[in-house]
Amino acid sequence: MAYTPKTNFPILTKRIPTRPWGDERQRHIVRYDEYVETGGYVGLRKALSMAPGDVTEVVKEAQLRGRGGAGFPAGLKWTFLPKIEDVNSPGPRYLAVNADESEPGTFKDRLLMDFDPHLMLEGIAICCYACRIDKAYIYIRGEYHHQAQVVEEALLEAYHHGVFGGAGLMNGSDTATGAPWKVECYLHRGAGAYICGEETALLESLEGKRGWPRVKPPFPAVQGLFGKPTIINNVETLAHLPSIIENGVEWFTAQGTESTIGGPPSYGTKLMGLSGHVNRPGVYECDLGIPLRTFVEEYGAGMRGGKKFKGAIAGGISTGVLGPDQYEAELDFDIGRKYNVLGLGTACPTIFDEETDMVAVARNISRFFKHESCGQCTPCREGSGWLFQLLSRIESGEARTKDLDLALEIATGMGAMPGTTICGLADGNNWAIRTIMNKYWGEFEARVQPTFVPVTMSVGAAANG
């Protein structure tokens, strides 16, 4: 059955020319005036005319799921903030915007920050109004030098035109609460640590400390940045808010797909970064639920060199790998339960062709996790190092068959039991290595020497020989 997209026009990329609706060569940075002329900040003005709780309810009913990797419903997360009696005096509350995007193979948030930063800023303002937050911090990865400059310039424009600071949002516009709502927004540059993509490590870094994940509970919504209630949302998640508020719940839920296994739906469009052995890598906006084959062949112009598909990392290396028989996998939030991977992740597939050495892929991934482990938890700190040593030995042909079982045992032990480590880095290492080894077992088995265990008799007639 042929795949038919539900969305016939761009939403997140309507100002960023992107196939199939535009030519990438026409891309440019959208400044404030152009953003407003093309419908920008309409969603924010509408949000200000609504009660903060009603804005939250719209986002909750739309079932907008986080686009940063975990897929947790954004509106539901907002409701975890402590209740307040006076909506105009809630006390210090913070929004931390996760623009770290350090998952290998992921570069979709970068597109928004490169060319349409005001879309993110409008989403930030809507979230802050709905959640009664007066300070927002954009945490951007250390390697995003150009993107940091673009966002900083957009922030200056937003302040100049009264979006932030001053008398309140949109130059002190009246709100449904009867008073303007003032928000200050800051850009904070990270130092390039993968672990700071984890929400509590991000908060530690924002506070000027070493980027170590925190023990939970307490959770950030209760005790987050500087010990105050904090919401942490991804760039793309926030970028969806203006169109949801402007067009309504029914409009948003008409995009994407329902769950095919009785789980929560995967509504809306998704920015998907395509890389690897394809003819046309890039970032595309697709309905959630698009089959991987369709994404590769129609958006990516097919496999490079006409070679066969061998596998794919669906959404960042920590999600695990789709095998050669899973080319039809639907890119939605059901993918984990249906195809034995950790989840959809960032939905940025890395494609492998038939000549890819999957043993080398596993070894390289283990090297990355070994390097990026913060070292706080023993299973992750020690296990990631042992895995890298074992996989290096397997790749070089110096291992034996027993080392295959040992590698799987270490991977499973460090990440299969929730709660053995503070954050999910060990789980990501486990899923990556375990799924590659299980789905390409023959390649690993062919690289090792057989283990022979001699059997001798120690009792009976044979022992007296």
| N-term to C-term CA, the chain | 70
Other beta carbons within 10 Å of 231? 25
Q: Sorting pLDDT into bands at 50, 70 and 90, what band is 459?
A: low
* 222 in Cβ contact with 228 (< 8 Å): no
Q: Taking each helix axis from N to C terminus, what angle separates 425-439 and 358-372, rounded to the nearest 10 degrees? A: 170
6: pLDDT strictly greater than 90: no
| pLDDT, average across residues 198-224 | 94
Report the alpha-carbon distance of residue 35 to residue 359 in Å, rounded: 47
How far, in whole angstroms, is CA 185 from its chain's centroid? 22
pLDDT per position as a tens digit, 402-437:
999 999 999 988 876 666 889 989 999 999 999 999
The pair of three-digit structure tokens given for residue 151, joined into one six-digit string: 């966002």
Q: Sorting pLDDT into bands at 50, 70 and 90, what band is 305?
A: very high
299: pLDDT strictly greater than 70: yes
| pLDDT, average across residues 64-92 | 92
For the domain 24-253, what is the CATH superfamily, name and number?
NADH-ubiquinone oxidoreductase 51kDa subunit (3.40.50.11540)
pLDDT per position as a tens digit, 320-376:
999 999 999 999 999 999 999 999 999 999 999 999 999 999 999 999 999 999 999
| pLDDT, average across residues 188-201 | 93
pLDDT per position as a tens digit, 228-270:
999 999 999 999 999 999 999 999 999 999 999 989 999 999 9
Q: Tell which CATH classification among 1.10.10.10, 1.10.1200.10, 1.20.1440.230, 1.10.443.10 matches the domain 358-447.
A: 1.20.1440.230
DSSP for residue 268: S
The pair of three-digit structure tokens given for residue 128, joined into one six-digit string: 């802050």
- The residue written with tokens 């897929």 in the block is 71
CA nearest neighbour of 153 among 17, 30, 45, 15: 30
Q: Sorting pLDDT into bands at 50, 70 and 90, what band is 85?
A: confident
Report the alpha-carbon distance of residue 206 to residue 96 in Å, rounded: 9
β-pairing verdict for 321-322 and 282-287? unpaired
The pLDDT value recorded for residue 460 is 59
Q: Taking each helix axis from N to C terminus, what angle separates 117-131 and 235-247, rounded to the nearest 10 degrees? A: 70
Burial 76-95 (b: 16+ CB within 10 A, else e): ebbeebeeeeebeebeebbb
The pLDDT value recorded for residue 394 is 96
Helix, strand, or coil here: 432? helix
Q: Tell which CATH classification among 3.40.50.2300, 3.10.20.30, 3.40.50.1980, 3.10.20.600 matches the domain 256-353.
A: 3.10.20.600
The pLDDT value recorded for residue 87 is 85
At residue 356, φ and ψ (nearest 5 deg) are -70, 135
The pLDDT value recorded for residue 462 is 53
Q: For residue 3, count CB atoms less than 10 angstroms from its CB and return exposed for 0-12, middle for 13-18, buried for 19 or more.
A: middle
Number of helices (H), then strands (E), in the chain: 19, 13
Largest CA distance in the chain: 99
Q: Sorting pLDDT into bands at 50, 70 and 90, what band is 188?
A: very high
Distances (CA, A) of 51 to 18, 65, 88, 249: 36, 22, 12, 16
Q: Indicate the average pLDDT of the chain.
A: 93
- Location of each CATH 3.40.50.11540 domain in the chain: 24-253
Cβ neighbors of 414 (< 8 A, separation 6 or more) are 379, 380, 383, 384, 387, 420, 421, 426, 429, 430
pLDDT per position as a tens digit, 136-183:
999 999 999 999 999 999 999 999 999 999 889 999 998 999 999 999
304: pLDDT strictly greater than 60: yes
State which H helix or E strand residue 463 sits in.
helix 461-464
- Location of each CATH 1.20.1440.230 domain in the chain: 358-447
| pLDDT, average across residues 103-118 | 96
Share of the chain above pLDDT 70, in %: 96
At residue 275, φ and ψ (nearest 5 deg) are -145, 175
Other beta carbons within 10 Å of 338? 14
| pLDDT, average across residues 55-73 | 95
- Location of each CATH 3.10.20.600 domain in the chain: 256-353
The pair of three-digit structure tokens given for residue 302, joined into one six-digit string: 């097919």
AA letter at 341: V
* 168 in Cβ contact with 141 (< 8 Å): no
Report the alpha-carbon distance of residue 271 to residue 288 in Å, rounded: 9
What stretches of 259-400 show up as alpha helix (H) in DSSP? 292-294, 335-339, 358-372, 378-396
The pLDDT value recorded for residue 69 is 85
